Structure 1
Amino acid sequence: MPFTLATWNINSVRLREDLVARFLREEGPDVLCLQECKSPVDKIPRDQFADLGYPHMVARGQKGYNGVAILSKLPLEEAGAEDHADLGHARHIAARLENGVVVHNFYVPAGGDIPDREANVKFGQKLDYLTAMRDAFHADRPARSILVGDLNIAPREDDVWDHRKLLKIVSHTPVEVEHLAQMQDAGAWVDITRQDIPTGNLYSWWSYRSPDWDAADKGRRLDHVWATGDIAGAAHSSRVLRHVRGWEKPSDHAPVLATFDL
């Protein structure tokens, strides 16, 4: 049975409850992974989502920041939640579907504004988090798994609006890209979005600071859908729903989707 999976940094699930509901009604993915929920688990408005056909949820939450959740039409069970780099942050949740596929939902630290771990503690935390992810995947090599989320790194030149201008900007610096690549290699993860859309500029995030984000189009592809090599060939129909960024009072991220025939 094919299933469609979506990932979306919602930037407060309670503030944007109606946007999530609209997305579920209009797009109807089988699984929706949310990041930056900014809510304790018991405050996530799961009743409305259940009424829309998403009765299953696993989540980790914090008041006011971070937080990850997986909503699903399909039965699932929790399959772990790691506190990588011992930050005490709710940044990871995993769920196992009935077909045995494990879905990992990550919210990697943004890293602050200065790409120097000595001058910026948050940047060091980001690199440490990615290193811990790498080591975890080395120790326990994933199989039949999907990894999604806001990884807060745009790795390719065509994942940003201007490669040269952003080389010293957090999210596209060489050291971040290298850390991401090492983590990806450790799990033998395949970038499904770029497997399906191999060329061309592609973004999933546009800053609130841009008064006309659509026309300026200074975006970055921070949100990712990956899969292990044993199931990557079953993926197709990848897309970024750019128009959702233009909804009223939106998140600064757009949803990213892919379908898997598994």
Structure 2
Amino acid sequence: MSFTLATWNINSVRLREPIVCKLLQEEAPDVLCLQECKSPVELIPMEAFAALGYTHMVARGQKGYNGVAILSKLPIKEVGAEDFASLGHARHIAGQLENGVTIHNFYVPAGGDVPDREKNEKFGQKLDYLTEMRDWFKASSPKKSILVGDLNIAPLEEDVWDHKKLLKIVSHTPIEVEHFNDVMAAGDWHDVTRADISEGKLYSWWSYRAKDWDAADKGRRLDHVWATGDIKAAAHSSRVLRDARGWEKPSDHAPVFATFDL
């Protein structure tokens, strides 16, 4: 079985329903994982998505904030939703396909603006969230699993527009990257995107603050696709759909794709 998966921080699934439908029509991934849906589950516009063949969904929602959903053409059942760091936020949902593959969809806290947990509670929450992710995966030893989402960390020098300038900016600080790598190691996770696209700058997010985001190209790779070691060789054809950042009323994130032969 071969299936294509995409992950996208949509920044309000109801507000951006038209571009979600555009993606589903034009790119037709088998599975689309959305973050920052900003909607109760019952108000996610499933009728429009089902009309395009996405008749299955597992999700966690909140009014106006956070929220994660997995839309699928393929049958999928919910197998978990964790509240790491006890924040009471809808930031994780896990679904399992009929072939036994588990998909974890995450929206890791952004962490605020100041990279100091003493001065910024949100930064501490982000580090605590990642620590609990690490411990959970270490205890559960995931197999035949894929992890996707807006992890709000750009780990590599080539994942940001200027490594030196961003070392003290939340999302690229050494302590965040250390926590990110600890989560990867704990679950035997492997970076599918960089396995396919190993060289060069690669971004999935460009700030709304940039007047011309495309020309300035001051991006960061905050959105990730990982696979456990037992299935990493099955992944291929990774890409970032950069054009989606320029669609009408866009998210500030672009979708990231990968295909798995399993």
TM-score (norm 2): 1.00
Describe how 1:107-126 pairs up with structure 2 within 5 A: 107-126=107-126
3-state SS of the aligned residue for 1:15?
coil
Distance 1:171 1:80 in 2: 27
Match of 1:251, as an amino acid?
Answer: S
Match of 1:238, as an amino acid?
Answer: S
Match of 1:195, as an amino acid?
Answer: A
Distance 1:169 1:257 in 2: 27
3-state SS of the aligned residue for 1:66?
coil
Describe how 1:211-230 pairs up with structure 2 within 5 A: 211-230=211-230
What is aligned with 1:246? 246
3-state SS of the aligned residue for 2:231?
helix
Compute the RMSD of aligned alpha carbons: 0.3
What is aligned with 1:162? 162
Distance 1:257 1:246 in 2: 17
3-state SS of the aligned residue for 1:85?
helix
Task: Note if 1:231 corresponds to 2:231.
Answer: yes
Question: After superposition, what is the alpha-carbon deviation per residue over 1:43-91, rounded to whole angstroms, capped at 9, x for unaligned?
Answer: 0000100000000000000000100000000001001000001000000
Match of 1:210, as an amino acid?
Answer: A
Distance 2:211 2:219 in 1: 13
Match of 1:234, as an amino acid?
Answer: A
Query: Per-residue deviation at 1:110?
Result: 0.1
3-state SS of the aligned residue for 1:136?
helix
Distance 1:212 1:74 in 2: 38
3-state SS of the aligned residue for 1:39?
coil
| Structure 1 unaligned spans of 5+ | none
Task: Note if 1:15 corresponds to 2:24.
Answer: no
What is aligned with 1:188? 188
Distance 2:225 2:167 in 1: 23
What is aligned with 2:77? 77
| Structure 2 unaligned spans of 5+ | none
Query: Per-residue deviation at 1:125?
Result: 0.3
What is aligned with 2:99? 99
Match of 2:78, as an amino acid?
Answer: E
Match of 1:184, as an amino acid?
Answer: M
3-state SS of the aligned residue for 2:230?
helix
Distance 1:249 1:30 in 2: 24
Distance 1:195 1:79 in 2: 28
Match of 1:133, as an amino acid?
Answer: M
What is aligned with 2:208? 208
Match of 2:124, as an amino acid?
Answer: G
3-state SS of the aligned residue for 1:233?
helix
Structure 1 segments, 4+ long, off by >3 Å, are none
Query: Per-residue deviation at 1:171?
Result: 0.1
What is aligned with 2:68? 68
Query: Per-residue deviation at 1:19?
Result: 0.5
Instruction: Report the count of equivalent residues.
Output: 262
Question: After superposition, what is the alpha-carbon deviation per residue over 1:128-183, rounded to whole angstroms, capped at 9, x for unaligned?
Answer: 00000000001110000000000000000000000000000000000000000001
Query: Per-residue deviation at 1:34?
Result: 0.0
Q: Give the percent of matched residue pairs that are identical in Structure 1 and Structure 2.
A: 78
Task: Note if 1:127 corresponds to 2:127.
Answer: yes
Question: After superposition, what is the alpha-carbon deviation per residue over 1:213-240, rounded to whole angstroms, capped at 9, x for unaligned?
Answer: 0000000000000000100000000000
Match of 1:147, as an amino acid?
Answer: L
